[in-house]
């Protein structure tokens, strides 16, 4: 599974704000591995202000301390602009 740093590594040259299509195009141009592309394809179709916002919104292993049952419950909820562990901040 892609990590936060993996996502950022392949988007280092992208100009922001950028939409989902721009993010995917840049990752493909940088020859990102399949797991990174898979995570980026799952992004909500919004404009992103920076790479950190993209990485937070991607479905990556951002919080390994979260259990499988909690992740499953989060996956059933509608996906919003930021990752679940940042909602309510």
Give me the domain span that covers residue 70.
4-86
Model-level pTM? 0.66
- In 1-89, which residue ranges form alpha helices assigned H by DSSP? 4-9, 20-29, 34-41, 51-57, 68-76
pLDDT of 47 above 90: yes
In the chain, the number of structural domains is 1
Q: What is the CA radius of gyration of the chain?
A: 13
Indicate the range of 20-24, 38-42, 81-85 predicted with least confidence. Answer: 81-85
pLDDT of 79 above 80: no
Burial class (CB in 10 A: 0-12, 13-18, 19+), 35: middle
pLDDT of residue 59: 72
Query: 48 - beta bridge partners?
Result: 18
How open is the CA angle 81-86-89, to the nearest 5 degrees?
Answer: 105
């Amino acid at each position: 599974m892609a990590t936060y740093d993996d996502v950022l590594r392949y988007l280092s040259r992208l100009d922001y704000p950028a939409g989902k299509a721009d993010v995917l195009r840049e990752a493909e141009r940088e020859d990102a591995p399949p797991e990174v592309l898979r995570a980026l394809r799952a992004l909500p179709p919004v404009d992103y202000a920076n790479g950190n916002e993209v990485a937070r919104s991607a479905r990556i292993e951002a919080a390994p301390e979260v259990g499988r049952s909690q992740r499953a419950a989060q996956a059933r909820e509608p996906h919003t602009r930021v990752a679940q562990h940042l909602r309510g901040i």
